[in-house]
Amino acid sequence: MSDPGIILPAPEPAAARLRPERTSLWGRALDQFRRDHAAITGLAIVAVFFLMAVGVWFGWWGTQWSQALGGRWEGPSGGHWLGTNLLGQDIFQRAVYSTRTAFEIGLIVAILSTLLGGLLGALSGFYSSRWIDSVLLWLMGTLDSIPFYLFVAAVAVAMAGNPWAMHIAMVATFWTTTARLVRGEVIKLKNLEFVEAAHAIGLGQFRIIFRHLLPNTFHILLVQGTIVFVSAIKAEVILSFLGLGVQDGVSWGLMIAESTQEVLAGQYMNFIVASSFMFVLVMAFNLFSDGLQDALDPRRAPR
């Protein structure tokens, strides 16, 4: 076999007897994930941010993000932990409130684009080399050929200030990668015995797709979901800077966009706080996502 480092001289069945290791994909993934300290740390940080976002949802904190509570550009103090911005708004409250915005964008875009990508990818794979597949492949190729920011900007402009324009644009571009991956997996799966058996006993095609094929691509969907989540949060910053992002409310992207002028006037607080919050969440999510990929993709098993 290829690398002696990868195939260790320990035959599988013996291992199963001596140590009760889980044999399913998910069981092994869980074991692998648990041993990945970076991923666990990432998950923990993401959880903290999520709680922060939930708190904002329930109005426990971050409620006074829009009020001008202080003077312009006050330094950190007991009243304003991280100081105030140009309008005298509390930077900490705004950063905390933005956590909710980030999760809203990340979750909505990740869930929708994963659903769309999974569904269309499965359809495309199941009917591979038929017309549905050709049309879907053409659509994916087309969407991938339009430069991302141009596309998002165009959607935002076309939808004239609609608060969901940004989400829709991101979903419309992010689903293609997921769909391609799912398509490949489904093509692989549909030739496997259990699917052929399902055909043989006369199960309907949609039943096969939804009951047998899609669930088996769930690991791809999960990993892609995390990747899209991170991409969405990062894209929001750029779009908000370009004036195409969040329409009402506040987000780290808006804070950074506000701060671009302040930074050059020597006021760094808004910039540092917003970018740090975002960096920590994105970094944690990246670590978490990496851990998931290592755990779920046998080919990415560590070294």
Partner 1 sequence: MELLSYVIRKLIGGIPLILGVTLISFVLMVYFGPDKTFELLSKNPTEAEIAQVRAQLGYDRPFLVRYAEYLKEMATLDFGFSDSTGERVSSILSRTIPVSLALLAPGFVLGNLLGIVLGLVAAWYRGGWVDKLIMGGAVVGMSISFLVVIVAFQALFGVVLGWFPVRGWNVHDLPSYAYYVTVPTLASVFVALGYNTRFFRAVLVEEINRDHVRTARAFGARPAEILFRNVLMNAMIPIVTRILFSIPLIVVSGSLLIESYFGIPGIGKVTFDAITSGDQPILKAVVGLTAVLFVLILIVTDILYRVVDPRVSLTGDAR
Partner 2 sequence: MTRINQPHPVLRVDNLCVEFATTAGQIRAVDQLSFSVEAGQTLGIVGESGCGKSVTSLAIMGLLPKPAGRIVDGSVLLDGQELTRLPEGRLRQLRGAELSMIFQEPMTALNPVYSIARQMTAVLKRHQQLSARQARHRAIEMLARVGIPRPDQRIDDYPHQLSGGMRQRVMIAMALSCQPKLLIADEPTTALDVTTQAQVLRQMVDLQQELGTAVILITHDLGVIAETCDQAVVMYCGSKVEQAPVADLFLQPRHPYTAGLMQSIPRIREHKLDRLPVIEGQVPNLAALPPGCRFAGRCPNREDRCVQQQPPLTERGAQQFACFNPWNGPVES
Partner 3 sequence: MIMGMLLLAACSEPPSDDNRDVYRHSEDEAPASLDPAQASTVYSNMVVVNVFDTLYRYKYLARPYELAPNLAAGFPDVSDDGLTYTFRIRSGVEFTDDPAFPDGTGREVTAHDLVYSIQRHFDPGVRSQGAWLWSGRIVGLDEWGQNGADYAAPIEGLKALDDHTLQIQLTAPYPQLVYTLAAGFSALVPKEAVEFYGREFSVKPVGSGPFKLTSFNSALATFDRNPKFDRGVLNLADEGYRDDLHGTYGLQALDGQAYPFVDGLEIHFIDENASRWNSFISGEVHNVMVPNEQIDRVLTSKDPIELNDDMAERFHKHSGIEAGFVYGGFNMADERFGHHPDPDQDAANRALRCAIRDAFDWQARNETFYFGLGNVFPGVIVPLVPEFDADLSRRSVQHNLQSANQALDEYGWRDQLPSMSYGMPSSVQQRQMFEQFRAQVQEIGFSTDQFSPESFATFGDFSRAIKNRELDLFFLGWSLDYPDAQNTLQLFYGPNETPGSNNFNYNNPAFDALYEQTLTLQPGQQRTALYRQMNQLVIDDCVVISGLSRTRVHLWDKQVRMLPDREILGGFFMRFVDIGNESETAAMSN
* Residues within the interface to partner 1 (CB under 8 A): 2-3, 6, 138-139, 141-143, 145-151, 153-155, 157-159, 230, 234, 237-238, 241-243, 253, 256-257, 259-260, 263-264, 271, 275, 278-279, 282-283, 286-287, 290, 299-300, 302-303
3-state DSSP assignment of residue 90: strand
One of 41, 247, 275, 286 touching partner 3 (CB under 8 A): 247
Q: How far is the CB of 90 from partner 1 (least distance, A)?
A: 21
Identify what 18 binds: partner 2, partner 1, partner 3, none; CB under 5 to 8 Å per kind. Answer: partner 2
Q: Give yes or no for residue 258 binding partner 3 (CB under 8 A).
A: yes
Q: How far is the CB of 201 from partner 2 (least distance, A)?
A: 33
Residues of span 233-272 touching partner 2 by CB under 8 A: none
Identify what 282 binds: partner 1, partner 2, partner 3, none; CB under 5 to 8 Å per kind. Answer: partner 1
Residues contacting 2, CB < 8 A, separation 6+: none
Residues of span 162-221 touching partner 3 by CB under 8 A: none
Identify what 258 binds: partner 2, partner 3, partner 1, none; CB under 5 to 8 Å per kind. Answer: partner 3
Helix 218-241 × helix 165-190 angle, to 10°: 160
DSSP string, 116-164: HHHHHHHHHHHTTTSHHHHHHHHHHHHHHHS-HHHHHHHHHHHTTT-TT
Could you tell me the two tokens for 299? 């080919």
Question: CA–CA distance from 80 to each of 118, 203, 259 (Å)?
Answer: 45, 63, 17
Decide whether 17 or 299 has the Cβ nearer to partner 2.
17
Give the span between the Cα atoms of 5 and 11, in whole angstroms: 14
Give the span between the Cα atoms of 34 and 39, in whole angstroms: 8
Give the span between the Cα atoms of 222 and 233, in whole angstroms: 17
Give the span between the Cα atoms of 201 and 102, in whole angstroms: 47
In one-letter notation, the amino acid at residue 40 is: I
One of 24, 59, 201, 303 touching partner 2 (CB under 8 A): 303
Q: Which of 105, 235, 239, 128 is closest to 179 using CA atoms?
A: 128
| Chain residues in the site for partner 2 (CB under 8 A) | 2-5, 8-11, 13-15, 17-19, 35, 303
| Chain residues in the site for partner 3 (CB under 8 A) | 66-68, 72, 86-89, 153, 156-157, 160-161, 243-244, 247-248, 254, 257-258, 260-266
